[in-house]
Structure 1
């Protein structure tokens, strides 16, 4: 693939701290939009006199589009300039907010949320911009802060939206989201112009036509499995249809002269192992714990496992701990810069094991849960910041957003799998006459989280230590064959 070489010697003309802050703020928009409607679902159900299943499309529509956008728009950024694509996505996201707030129908809100979902492609583009415009030694720290900001903004989404709902109305969530997206788009104009690949017009657009619905069908099936169950023919049929489309997409991309996503890059050992570690960790500490901690905190004290906190109090606990995780993200970045991101992934996996053990031992008290959640936050901070850095260590600069975008898709898909598996384990063992899961069911989920972290630890050990060595050379050879 003929492309313009991105200079490793280029230096930004604006302060590095300002450039990183702009990228972090752009990523915050996407992360905030992903969680901002959780608290609004009861109001949506009441306002439109609808069912919880129909209202949940406000979340599902965003998720499906965001997953496809992460890979497709990451590749578009590699081809046509990452800064340009980020700005376009932010503007489209603002349009989505306007559609949701102005139509006055549930269908309009869902349509707007689907449009808003394109912001899912911002995270991999931010990684690519950071690698393109920052000095090499600053890239791991910047990537870690961008990943940490996503975690913090996701936690803040529930609190901010809750405050807006209580003091104003759920419509104002979209007003705030649109305003923030427009401010971020204006800020991105201060970023240096991105390099544009030569020959981009020859890319195989057929790849994106197949990839987006394939990922959407798989994620839709996984998402609906919580209401349809895994034994339902609709769940199995939807996922199988998505997997068949995905197989067709892989077959087509491997044979295309100029593929949308160069799958040959994934023959690189480090990249393949990183993707496997991403999938395993997404099932365990990233996916299964996403709802588990909230469930433990908000379940009543007379349940086998429950602390009886209100939703607001539980949200503040999660947010305060997320701040701690964000502050830790530069530490992971510095470890990646000095010793390679493999070391940071090993540390994150070990803290994940510690979190699983402490959850099993200390979940019956608020202080015990906070202690175990701190371990989880350390694990998540190191995991989420090491993964994009590992991807960048294994891929050439011109494929950064493409590869990190696929990593986001893998993480999103397997997080859904982790949530579904954990939900299934909890539902298989209920206290007679109640909807509360037994203590044994929770223990099974804790074991699942621990096993995933152990597997990720051994996968990390298999990754060759050190930063990029011959990766650019190998990738260049692979790209030249396309």
Structure 2
């Protein structure tokens, strides 16, 4: 196998426009995740379908993303990361147009699945940065790209709420399609292709077995509350998932061109970062489960604020804005002290934010303050995770490794959704004829999120220390990348 590499210092293009375009594309893709949230209660009326059928508009996107992220990462390593980014954006645009033209549930689900297949763009963008940017610019660019995930998700709620309130709901997806086209043009014009390729054959058996394992795991996680956590369907899917993961792991260890190199993934730095990512994904998503509901619950509950969906979206907006603003600070900490310290600091800040939130969620300003604290910690942590991964894998594995790490974070958010759903369904109060989540339910979720952040801190503490920085040379190996990310410029 031959791996093509080119020095990043001799032919580096202007970095500012490239980073801006990649971050914009990441925001466009992450907007897709929250675009449908304001209209979920109205989807049965819009599509003339049952709530259980329209729920697949969310579930289908989740499953498609789980399959697409690791697959696109490996394809990017093999055939070009920019090429796979363009394919991802094309799928986003196609899915948006399908939904925008839909008036029934089947095309809606098909379009949302196509949108979910675009989710591999963000880890691909992070990976291409490693290949084309000079080392002194890498940490800041990675932090900015990672922040786009939170920015798009947080800003998507108020934007979608405004469009849904004042225009036909189809405009949400025409807007998504338009933004996708802009992103595609900018990527095509501004982003060069990565010089790093692995070549070889794609691991179809690994991709299929991993897809089966992930779908069989995420289906009961997302639908377990409807099916029953001890139902035959739920237990059977979990058993299938376990078997499929074992088969996938065996195959990946025995094939010469694996989808995910498990031997590389078993390295302490990669393994612990991925475990911390799962736990941190839980902590990050908890705010999205708590804040919008607290804002919208009636004031008669004693803790609800009686606000609108738009207000709840505006409360979450500072979360994403702070993630973007903190990314330069995170890159400076990473350059000076290493990504391990940045991740640990982020975990501490998130734990503090949720700790305050347990006792202070009784006004809009309190929720905004907590969202900003948590957003600061998440911004630091999400910028450090790809840096830790890239510091431990060879250039030929960057796309697959970053994509697998993104998948781990997504699993954490899926677990958060399922666990929070169980808590909210079981810790309730009565208000007239309505049964609503109690204040203790939200406090419990916040406490679990704080505990998750502390667990991520403990896991991160066991990461190995990166070696001392090297001189100003272009990183050509995994060790050099690790050193470059810890160099103080």
The TM-score with structure 2 as length reference comes to 0.91
Partner of 1:248: 247
Which one of the candidate residues 423, 426, 440 is aligned to 1:425? 423
Partner of 2:264: 265
Q: Do the aligned residues in 1 keep the contact of 2:162 with 2:310 (CA within 8 Å)?
A: no
Q: Secondary structure at the match of 2:373?
A: helix
Q: 2:359, 2:286 → 1: CA distance?
A: 18
In structure 1, list runs of 5 or more residues that go unmatched.
Answer: 476-482
Q: Does structure 1 residue 472 correspond to structure 2 residue 470?
A: no
Q: Do the aligned residues in 2 keep the contact of 1:6 with 1:397 (CA within 8 Å)?
A: no
Q: CA deviation at 1:474?
A: 12
Partner of 1:436: 436
Q: Does structure 1 residue 302 correspond to structure 2 residue 300?
A: yes
Partner of 2:462: 462
Partner of 2:486: none
Alpha-carbon RMSD across the aligned residues, in angstroms, is: 2.1
Offset from partner CA, 1:131-179 (integer Å, 9 cap, x none): 1111111111111111112211111222222222223211122211112
Matches within 5 A, 1:144-155: 144-155=143-154
Partner of 1:357: 355
Partner of 1:478: none
Over 3 Å counting, the alpha-carbon distance change for 1:443 and 1:155 in structure 2 is closer
Over 3 Å counting, the alpha-carbon distance change for 1:101 and 1:429 in structure 2 is closer
Q: CA deviation at 1:287?
A: 2.7
Partner of 1:20: 19
Over 3 Å counting, the alpha-carbon distance change for 1:401 and 1:310 in structure 2 is same
Q: CA deviation at 1:317?
A: 1.7
The TM-score with structure 1 as length reference comes to 0.92
Partner of 1:182: 181
Q: Do the aligned residues in 2 keep the contact of 1:66 with 1:117 (CA within 8 Å)?
A: yes
Partner of 1:216: 215
Q: Do the aligned residues in 2 keep the contact of 1:10 with 1:135 (CA within 8 Å)?
A: no
Q: 1:10, 1:129 → 2: CA distance?
A: 17
Q: Secondary structure at the match of 2:320?
A: helix
Q: Do the aligned residues in 1 keep the contact of 2:95 with 2:110 (CA within 8 Å)?
A: yes
Offset from partner CA, 1:184-226 (integer Å, 9 cap, x none): 111112211222525x233432111221232122112111123
In structure 2, list runs of 5 or more residues that go unmatched.
Answer: 470-475, 482-489
Q: Secondary structure at the match of 1:435?
A: strand
Between 341-350 and 91-100, report the one with greater CA deviation. 91-100
Q: Do the aligned residues in 1 keep the contact of 2:150 with 2:319 (CA within 8 Å)?
A: no
Q: Secondary structure at the match of 1:352?
A: helix
Q: 1:41, 1:51 → 2: CA distance?
A: 12
Q: How many residues align?
A: 472
Partner of 2:284: 286
Partner of 1:448: 448
Partner of 1:329: 327
Q: Secondary structure at the match of 1:9?
A: coil
Q: CA deviation at 1:269?
A: 0.9
Q: CA deviation at 1:87?
A: 0.7
